[in-house]
């Protein structure tokens, strides 16, 4: 197991993909949060509705609630890039117990998700803080609340990376996984979350969707939750973490039986 | 000492196509064994089943009695070079080996050492995407050698190598076999490995058609003598009278005879008063034996 984990790290750091992804993510989060907070700071002030203090946690958490596509893709790439370039073959030659090879990918994804989480979270907080300052407000970065949110944001990114590994095992196709993640996170889930919250029969379901669970884990300040007017039905931090992790486990177990055990050529 | 590789009743079908069909043979340590068959005969499928990449429908492959998936740190026991070789194009040669190294119990030094061994020391920092076919083949071999295994399975290792490279790999493999290792190399051309292997396993259509020493295969081939004469008809008559086999030759003045030595033919012609212009002996025509063994059952499917 240890050799498989070491091998995973080396795979990760010897290609340029992850560096590009992390750089794009950091730049995107920073610029995005900077622009939004700048606008906010210019228009309103104080702690009233729509004010800086209300907006701040949402902006700090934008990485965890909207930018999770990055850790998901980095996690998924650990599997799909190997299928894409057939390097899964030497991987399975070196570790013929395929479940061990997969568990090694999951373990290796933890520090990578953490790293991405730190970079993404710092980018969001820095962008937001700078935006408020430039707009003439208070950055408000070093409040206790912020630090808790930042910690939860990093944790959320990490769990998303694990979900990514599971998803990669289930889909195995590089293009497939990117399309699936984009379609689900940017279209299907937001529509479901807002749509289902309208009807009383389905109101209880959206909070169990992966994105909603992640929002709960990240501290509950989700842009989507704020958009679904009136509905504040969310899981607790713990429940959110467990539900999100359960998605990863379910994808991974399904993927193992449906894909990973298959012949490789 | 390398493992004895035992293949027992191995079978694998793709739909109605029997890619490998009840195949059984053994590979002994201490010599290079050629695994031969025309394109599509089932060589790669067999090697992939041996290393747990493809699950056989029936049968099994064992290394010293153990299936591949039960070997601890398999790279230290069995080195496998696949065809086609697989690399991430963005990784350098050294990084490719470093990625595999933990499984082989190898450090950076060993990685550099095997790169030197296959003649890629200068290309260690180069991305594999920029490698030539021959360089990829060499890197593939380096990966197989990384864990210093006693057993080597090499699928088409000669592919893409220049004549000097072929000669180099021949020396290398013979040296490794002399150390007692088990070496199995596949090829679709007997002539490509003829000077490297001592034993051969020939398959066609997924089935075994020959297993044994190269020398015995040469015996099957026999030798032929080209007899040049101004009266080829008389030579043919002479051959028939002695019960020798006559083959067509491209030159009408030449009669190709099998089953007799040049001396026997010369003497018989002198006795019969047939003037001969020349006698040329040909070495065993292995390629035609290979073709005869595999034709009608192998080939592309
Ligand atoms: N995944 C697959 N699906 C369907 N057919 C396959 C598959 N893999 C191999 N085959 C078929 O099985 C047969 C054996 O293929 P294999 O690659 O083992 O031959 P080979 O002896 O290695 O040939 P070559 O000398 O061309 O490398 C071929 O007819 C091939 O088309
Ligand atoms: Mg082949």
Query: DSSP characters for B73-118?
Result: SGGGTEEEE-SS----TTSBHHHHHHHHHHHHT--HHHHHHHHHHT
Q: Is residue B279 part of a domain?
A: yes
Query: What is residue B280's DSSP assignment?
Result: E
Which one of B69, B86, B89 would you mutate to disrupt binding with A, by most A Cβ within 10 Å of its Cβ? B86
**8 A C-beta contact, residue A161 and residue A110:** yes
d(CA A134, CA A54): 18
Which chain B residue lies closest to A97 (C-alpha atoms)? B69
Among A193-207, B23-37, B106-120, the minimum mean pLDDT is found in A193-207
* DSSP-assigned beta bridge partners for residue B62: B6
Which among B81, B79, B20 has a CA at the least distance from the CA of B46? Answer: B20
| Mean pLDDT, range A234-258, rounded to an integer | 91
Clarify whether residues B144 and B243 are in a common domain.
no
Domain count, chain B: 2
- Count CB pairs under 8 A between chains A and B: 79
* pLDDT the model gives residue A224: 58
Clarify whether residues B50 and B160 are in a common domain.
yes
Clarify whether residues B83 and B213 are in a common domain.
yes
Among A215-224, B62-71, B81-90, B203-212, the minimum mean pLDDT is found in A215-224
Contacts of B251 (CB under 8 A, 6+ apart): B228
Please answer yes or no on whether B92 and A7 come within 8 Å at the CB atom: no
For B43, the domain range is 5-219
Which chain A residue lies closest to B106 (C-alpha atoms)? A3
Q: pLDDT digits over A163-177, tens only?
A: 999 999 999 998 999
The answer to whether the Cα torsion of B83, B88, B94, B99 is positive or negative is negative
Clarify whether residues B27 and B128 are in a common domain.
yes
Q: pLDDT digits over B205-228, tens only?
A: 999 999 998 878 777 766 788 899
Name the residue with higher pLDDT: B62 or A123.
B62
Q: How confident is the model at residue A52 (pLDDT cuts 50, 70, 90)?
A: low
Q: Is residue B16 part of a domain?
A: yes
Query: From ligand 1's centre to the CA of B87, what distance in Å?
Result: 21
Q: Is residue B301 part of a domain?
A: no
How high does pLDDT run on average in chain A?
A: 84
Ligand 1: residue of B36, B40, B290 to mutate (most ligand atoms within 8 A of CB) is B40
For the whole model, what pTM was predicted? Answer: 0.85
**Per-residue tokens: B171:** 């020396």
Clarify whether residues B215 and B247 are in a common domain.
no
Please answer yes or no on whether B100 and A90 come within 8 Å at the CB atom: yes
Report the atom number in ligand 1 closest to the C-alpha of B38. 25
Q: Is residue B292 part of a domain?
A: no
Clarify whether residues B193 and B231 are in a common domain.
no
* pLDDT the model gives residue B280: 85
Clarify whether residues B172 and B244 are in a common domain.
no
| Mean pLDDT, range A208-213, rounded to an integer | 85
Q: How confident is the model at residue B301 (pLDDT cuts 50, 70, 90)?
A: very low
Contacts of A116 (CB under 8 A, 6+ apart): A22, A25, A70, A71, A74, A157, A161
d(CA B236, CA B253): 11
| Ligand positioned closest to the Cα atom of B54 | 1
Distance from CA of A17 to the nearest CA of B (A): 9
Query: What is residue B130's DSSP assignment?
Result: G
- Per DSSP, the residues of B235-278 read HHHHHHHHT-EEE--SSTTEEEEESS-HHHHHHHHHHHT--EEE
d(CA A253, CA B144): 31
* pLDDT the model gives residue B298: 43
Asked whether residue A186 carries a pLDDT value surpassing 90, the answer given is no
Clarify whether residues B196 and B277 are in a common domain.
no
CATH of the domain at B111: 3.40.50.300
């Amino acid at each position: 197991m240890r050799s498989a984990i070491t091998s995973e790290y080396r795979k990760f750091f010897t290609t340029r993909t992850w560096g590009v992804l992390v750089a794009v993510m950091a730049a995107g989060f920073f610029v995005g949060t900077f622009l939004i907070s700048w606008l906010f700071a210019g228009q309103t002030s104080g702690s009233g509705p729509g004010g800086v203090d209300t907006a701040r946690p949402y902006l700090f958490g934008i990485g965890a609630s909207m930018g999770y596509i990055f850790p998901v893709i980095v996690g998924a790439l650990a599997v799909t890039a190997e299928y894409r370039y057939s390097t899964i073959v030497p991987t399975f030659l070196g570790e013929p117990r395929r479940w061990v090879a997969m568990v090694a990918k999951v373990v290796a994804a933890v520090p990578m998700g953490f790293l991405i989480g730190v970079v993404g979270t710092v980018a969001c907080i820095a962008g937001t803080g700078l935006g408020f300052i430039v707009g003439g407000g208070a950055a408000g970065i070093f409040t206790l609340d912020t630090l808790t949110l930042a910690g939860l944001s990093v944790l959320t990114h990490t769990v998303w990376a694990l979900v990514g590994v599971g998803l990669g095992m289930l889909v195995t196709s590089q293009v497939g996984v990117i399309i699936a993640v984009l379609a689900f996170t940017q279209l299907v889930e937001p529509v479901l979350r807002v749509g289902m919250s309208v009807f009383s029969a389905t109101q209880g379901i959206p909070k169990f969707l992966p994105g909603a669970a992640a929002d709960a884990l990240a501290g509950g300040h989700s842009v989507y939750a704020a958009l679904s007017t009136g509905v504040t039905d969310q899981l607790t931090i713990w429940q959110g973490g467990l539900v999100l992790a359960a998605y990863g486990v379910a994808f991974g177990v399904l993927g193992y039986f449906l894909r990973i055990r298959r012949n490789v050529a | 000492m390398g493992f004895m590789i035992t293949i027992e009743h191995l079978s694998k079908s793709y739909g109605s196509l029997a890619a490998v069909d009840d195949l059984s043979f053994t590979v002994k340590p201490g010599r290079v064994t050629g695994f031969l068959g025309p394109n599509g005969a089932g060589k790669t499928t067999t090697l992939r089943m041996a290393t747990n990449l493809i699950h056989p429908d029936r049968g099994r492959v064992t290394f010293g009695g153990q299936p591949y998936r039960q070997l601890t740190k398999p790279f230290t026991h069995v080195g496998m070079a696949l065809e086609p070789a697989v690399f991430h194009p963005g990784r350098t040669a050294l990084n490719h080996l470093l990625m595999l190294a933990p499984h082989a119990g190898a450090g950076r030094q060993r990685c550099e050492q095997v790169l030197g061994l296959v003649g890629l020391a200068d290309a260690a920092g180069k991305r594999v995407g920029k490698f030539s076919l021959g360089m990829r083949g060499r890197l593939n071999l380096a990966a197989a050698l990384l864990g210093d295994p006693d057993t080597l399975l090499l699928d088409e290792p000669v592919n893409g190598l220049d004549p000097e490279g072929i000669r180099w790999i021949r020396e290398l493999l013979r040296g490794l076999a002399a150390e007692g290792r088990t070496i199995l190399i596949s090829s679709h051309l007997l002539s490509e490995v003829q000077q490297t292997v001592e034993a051969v396993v020939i398959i066609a259509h997924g089935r075994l058609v020959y297993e044994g020493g190269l020398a015995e295969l040469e015996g099957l081939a026999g030798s032929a003598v080209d007899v040049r004469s101004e009266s080829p008809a008389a030579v043919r008559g002479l051959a028939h009278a002695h019960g020798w086999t006559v083959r067509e030759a491209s030159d009408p003045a030449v009669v190709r005879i099998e089953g007799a030595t040049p001396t026997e033919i010369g003497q018989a012609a002198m006795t019969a008063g047939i003037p001969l212009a020349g006698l040329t002996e040909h070495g065993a025509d292995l390629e035609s034996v290979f073709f005869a063994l595999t034709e009608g059952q192998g080939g592309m499917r």
